[in-house]
């Protein structure tokens, strides 16, 4: 933390933090005629990082729990905007990519870890985070392999850095290759680690036909996240561990939201939008706030701990999975 801001009383830092949080809530998520500025996913994350590197998050002890809860609630809200048939089709197409890329990433990650002589647990955590869903996967398998705080911090730091880059890089690449919404959404879900960053990258992406990538990205990513369960069970068997396997129950609520919005229609509108559309907008705004909180929870000490070799493993795995999946998706999905 900057020494100047260390001298600022906690109460004032709390006020500044809350003002920035309100700005993330009030400002639009994309360009609007009556607003000079807007705050999209990359801007929210960057704003949070600036807070972390200058004055620090004055609510850091509550940040992790708030981030996790808000992310899960927001993702469930997105389910109210999905067409069931579209979601099922995305799930079917995403299943092949999910299984093949998870296996490929774990295998390549194992050999990269050995080649770079990285601690086995750190290498395994980075590989799992890249293969499935970033920090959630790391949090799920860390207690099973009895990883210590340092090993967990290095792994999470590596994933966080790459997630931050993905928010900016992926939309630019998607538009450069003129990817359809379905192609881009699937690619984000496969190649970006955390669910929050997948949704952040896909939030404002629309193809030439004005189709949104967000529904596809969310569906395929949550399908991918379910693989935390079998991977955790296999890990527990391999390590002969009795560590508890964490099950992402919020995905069930996401599915229920899709079913409710498709089979319990609401024709009445408020200011031109149905209640489901307002819930969906709440979910999108919630994810903007989530990314601000994630950025503000950044620990400078964690980044310093990461080191060159874990970052190199993470980058090489990321380039591999991004390139291979991009090539296959462009060939297979129209």
HSE of 322, CA atoms in CB hemisphere, 13 A: 19
C-alpha atoms less than 13 angstroms from C-alpha of 268 in its C-beta half-sphere: 0
What tokens does 257 get?
A: 């939201």
Structure tokens that stand for 216 in this block: 């596809």
Look at 64 and 93; give whichever has higher pLDDT: 64
Residues 301, 143, 293: CA angle, nearest 5 degrees: 45
**Confidence band (pLDDT; 50, 70, 90) for 106?**
very high
Quick check: 26 pLDDT over 70?
yes
What's the whole-model pTM score? 0.80
Question: For residue 168, which of 287, 44, 283, 300 has the smallest C-alpha distance?
Answer: 44
Q: Where are the domains of the chain?
A: 79-287+303-332
For every residue of 242-308, DSSP letters joined together read -PPPP--THHHHHHHHHHHHHHS-----BTTB-HHHHHHHHHHHHHHHHHHHHHHT--HHHHHHH-H
pLDDT at residue 214, as a whole number: 87
Distances (CA, A) of 230 to 150, 225, 226: 25, 10, 8
Q: Report whether 203 contacts 287 (CB < 8 A).
A: yes
- Which of 25, 96, 78 lies closest to 260 in space, CA to CA? 78
DSSP structural state of residue 134: T
Burial class, 2, CB count within 10 angstroms (exposed 0-12 / middle 13-18 / buried 19+)? exposed
Q: Is the per-residue pLDDT at 246 higher than 90?
A: no
Q: Please state, rounded to an integer, the average pLDDT across all residues of the chain.
A: 85
* Tokens of residue 131, six digits: 């293969």
Which two three-digit tokens encode residue 12?
């004032």
Both structure tokens of 159: 């994933």
247-290 per-position pLDDT tens digit: 777 878 888 988 898 888 887 888 778 888 899 889 889 888 98
Distance CA 224, CA 131 (A): 9
- Rounded distance between C-alpha atoms, residue 171 and residue 201, angstroms: 6
């Amino acid at each position: 933390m900057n020494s100047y801001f260390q001298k600022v009383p906690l109460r004032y830092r709390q006020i500044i933090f809350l003002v920035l949080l309100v700005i993330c809530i009030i400002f639009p998520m994309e360009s609007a005629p009556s607003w000079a500025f807007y705050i999209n996913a990359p801007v929210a994350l960057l704003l949070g990082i600036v807070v972390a590197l200058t004055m620090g998050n004055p609510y850091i002890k509550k940040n992790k729990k708030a981030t996790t809860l808000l992310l899960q609630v927001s993702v469930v809200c997105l389910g109210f905007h999905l067409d069931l048939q579209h979601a099922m089709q995305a799930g079917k197409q995403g299943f092949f990519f999910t299984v093949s890329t998870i296996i490929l990433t774990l295998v390549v990650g194992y050999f990269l870890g050995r080649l770079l002589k990285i601690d086995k647990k750190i290498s395994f955590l980075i590989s799992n985070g890249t293969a499935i869903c970033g920090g959630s996967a790391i949090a799920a398998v860390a207690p099973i392999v009895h990883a210590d705080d340092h090993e967990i911090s290095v792994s999470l730091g590596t994933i966080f850095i790459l997630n931050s880059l993905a928010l900016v890089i992926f939309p630019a690449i998607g538009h450069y290759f003129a990817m359809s919404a379905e192609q881009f959404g699937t690619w984000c879900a496969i190649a970006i680690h955390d669910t929050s960053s997948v949704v952040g990258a896909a939030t404002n992406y629309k193809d030439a036909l004005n189709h949104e990538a967000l529904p596809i990205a969310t569906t395929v990513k949550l399908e991918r996240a379910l693989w935390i369960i079998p991977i955790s069970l296999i890990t527990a068997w391999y390590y002969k561990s009795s560590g508890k396997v964490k099950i992402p129950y919020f995905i069930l609520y996401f599915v229920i939201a899709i079913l409710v919005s498709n089979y319990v229609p609401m024709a009445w509108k408020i200011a031109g939008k149905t209640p489901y559309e307002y819930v969906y907008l709440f979910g999108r705004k919630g994810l903007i706030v989530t990314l601000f909180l994630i950025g503000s929870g950044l620990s400078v000490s964690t980044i310093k701990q990461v080191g060159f070799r874990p970052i190199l493993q993470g980058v090489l795995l990321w380039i591999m999975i991004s390139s291979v999946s991009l090539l296959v998706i462009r060939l297979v999905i129209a």
